[in-house]
Amino acid sequence: MVLAPGFVDAHIHVWPEAIEVKPARYTVADHFAVSRPAGVLRTVLIQPGMYGFDNRYMLEAVGAHPGIFSAVAVVDADAESLDATVAKLRGQGVRGFRITAAKDKPWAEWAGMHGLWRVAGRAGMAMCPLINPEALPWVAAMCEKHPNVNVTIDHLGRVGAASAKPPDAEVRVLCGLARFPRVHVKVSAFYALGRKQVPYTDLAPMIRQVFETYGPRRLMWGSDAPYQVQPPHNYAASVDLVRERLTFLNAEDRAWLLARTAESVFFTP
Ligand SMILES: [Zn+2]
């Protein structure tokens, strides 16, 4: 069975002028040039952290291409009138919030962070942690308090980012979060995990374990362009791992990973 094109990339960034990262710029046109030939027709834009809480460039891209993009924004969890901010962003196409873990500010002890999860839950938005494996237990602590909130963990929890082989203990911690039914995992950023080499098939055992624990409906593929498109990496190699090389996936599984799961979380009315 051949998968119809129309894939959804659950994770990319666009920026007009980079601050201390490469490439210097990555525009929507740059993204279309690599994603359309790979059969990817819709994309979730993730606001990069380098502009503070200024989501404007990303939101302009969303507004200029109706139906093509969803968006994950960065907001100040401690700001007043968070409800109004979130409502406005929702109207502009945002469906999630990127959060990171600063060691000196554990989420569970941070009133503003609890506030953001509450507002996100009410607004039907996802919390999207970009975290290292050490912070995976932070997700559990928040899910226990906010069980109605969708969560989407970036890049397989970055398990394998710091080593050539993803540590079994960390894979188990990631899989342990599957006990919370609203936790989803992005199968993404292959350039940064394990051996970090095309065709990324060394990641198959980890992805299989995550797949068998979460099931296809809670996993979504993402490229993490523009990082994924810096040589020797490329966009097609990222899609191809899920579309062709993970032999434990059947056609329906692939349809969930490559489109439906991201659609259900990020392309909601
Ligand atoms: Zn990213």
Q: Domain holding 58: CATH number? A: 3.20.20.140
Rounded distance from Cα 237 to ligand 1 centre (Å): 17
Rounded distance from Cα 23 to ligand 1 centre (Å): 13
Rounded distance from Cα 196 to ligand 1 centre (Å): 15
Query: Is residue 215 included in any domain, yes or no?
Result: yes
Contact between 240 and 234 (Cβ < 8 Å)? no
Distance CA 188, CA 120 (A): 23
Rounded distance from Cα 157 to ligand 1 centre (Å): 12
Contact between 72 and 89 (Cβ < 8 Å)? no
Contact between 31 and 14 (Cβ < 8 Å)? yes
Query: Is residue 164 included in any domain, yes or no?
Result: yes
- Name the packing angle between helices 136-145 and 111-123 (round to 10°): 60
Query: Is residue 146 included in any domain, yes or no?
Result: yes
Domain enclosing residue 82, as ranges: 7-266
Query: Is residue 1 included in any domain, yes or no?
Result: no
Query: Is residue 36 included in any domain, yes or no?
Result: yes
Number of domains in the chain: 1
Distance CA 195, CA 162 (A): 10
Rounded distance from Cα 1 to ligand 1 centre (Å): 31
Rounded distance from Cα 228 to ligand 1 centre (Å): 9
Closest CA to 215 of 164, 158, 257: 257
Query: Is residue 2 included in any domain, yes or no?
Result: no
- Per-residue pLDDT of the chain (269 residues), as tens digits, is 456 669 999 999 999 988 888 899 999 999 999 999 999 999 999 999 999 999 999 999 999 999 999 999 999 999 999 999 999 999 999 999 999 999 999 999 999 999 999 999 999 999 999 999 999 999 999 999 999 999 999 999 999 999 999 999 999 999 999 999 999 999 999 999 999 999 999 999 999 999 999 999 999 999 999 999 999 999 999 999 999 999 999 999 999 999 999 999 999 99
Contact between 11 and 35 (Cβ < 8 Å)? no
Query: Is residue 151 included in any domain, yes or no?
Result: yes
DSSP 8-class letter at 256: I
